[in-house]
Amino acid sequence: MPDSKSTFHLALIISNIKSHVLIILEMEYVQYATWAELFKIHTRSHRVIDHIIPPQDGKQKASPMEEETELWLTLNATVLRWIYATISHDLLHTILEPNTTTMEAWNRLRDIFQDNKHSRAVTLEYDFTHTTMEAFSSVSTYCQLLDQSLSDQLKNVGFPVDNNRLVLQLVSGLTEPYKGVSTLIRQSDPLPQFYQAQSMFVLKESGLKKAAQTSSSAMMAHDSNESQEMSDHSLAHRTNNGGKQYSNRGNSRKNRNNTSGRDNLGTCKGGSGGGGKGGGGNNRGGGQQQPQNNPWPAGQQWPWP
């Protein structure tokens, strides 16, 4: 128990336990072993581990003296607050009871995650051996489930997975593009560590992504060139057709002008002839009467353009 002469304890200076125990214990992502180890290390460093784990000799410490009761209760509440701050809301509502001690809350959490070990082990073992990369978006996600989720849960129920089995399960669940690296790892003796195998597959995944991006860029450039060539061909075709139509319109206009000019010339000649035959008298045969002030000598044609 704390020294009766001391009015201050090291645990009281901790205001935010999350800055020391960086894992939030949740039901979905079970990391009880890691969370518990971090928590025990922190409580031991502040000399309050006896609030969650009894002494090794099995003897409980004597009840606190009258003058120590208030400090003991304060320390108990401090450690209990650490527990409540590092678990999910669902777990908090499960273990929360009034007037509970820190050790009681600790034992409830242990029972939640470590009871019915054999039943849990059967389910976890099936999930571990039937997990493949096809259900994941990346190698890192696939490796994280095997190592940090399923492997840790098997360890929590008393069936730890060694490195060799973990690596072999990793390579057996990979897809076809990674078969070359898988064969290389299988032929290694001894097998590499799990994190080394994961690094090899992540590097392979990066190379596959770069190759896919290069192929996609080349295909887009090819399609763009074909579209540009088709556009240029279509533009040239429209330009040639437009030139031919313009030429045809010009020839047609020229023919109309020539025909009109010949018709006008014939009319003018006929008019002059009629006027000449009339001798300046009555307009016969449709000829026009010659103006009186005509500056041109009689018998000559009008200068039609």
Q: Domains in the chain: how many in total?
A: 2
Based on the fold, state whether residues 195 and 140 are members of the same structural domain: yes
Q: Considering the domain boundaries, does residue 253 fall inside one?
A: no
What are 257-273's pLDDT values in tens digits?
Answer: 555 555 544 444 444 44
Who wins on pLDDT, 5 or 24? 24
Who wins on pLDDT, 129 or 215? 129
pLDDT at 205 over 70: yes
Q: Considering the domain boundaries, does residue 59 fall inside one?
A: no
Check residue 284 and give its pLDDT.
46
Q: Considering the domain boundaries, does residue 210 fall inside one?
A: no
Check residue 68 and give its pLDDT.
78
Check residue 278 and give its pLDDT.
42
Based on the fold, state whether residues 22 and 107 are members of the same structural domain: yes
Based on the fold, state whether residues 156 and 178 are members of the same structural domain: yes
| Range(s) of the domain holding residue 45 | 10-54+69-114
Whether 8 contacts 74, CB under 8 Å: no
**Domain limit, last residue, from 179, 202, 225:** 202
Based on the fold, state whether residues 123 and 87 are members of the same structural domain: no
Check residue 59 and give its pLDDT.
57
Average pLDDT over the chain, rounded to whole? 74
**Among the ranges given (183-197, 212-226, 253-267, 276-290), the one the predictor scored with the smallest mean pLDDT:** 276-290
Q: Considering the domain boundaries, does residue 257 fall inside one?
A: no
pLDDT at 167 over 90: yes
Over residues 133-137, mean pLDDT: 85
Check residue 107 and give its pLDDT.
92
Q: Considering the domain boundaries, does residue 284 fall inside one?
A: no
Mean pLDDT comparison of 108-117, 206-215, 241-250, highest-scoring range: 108-117
Check residue 279 and give its pLDDT.
43
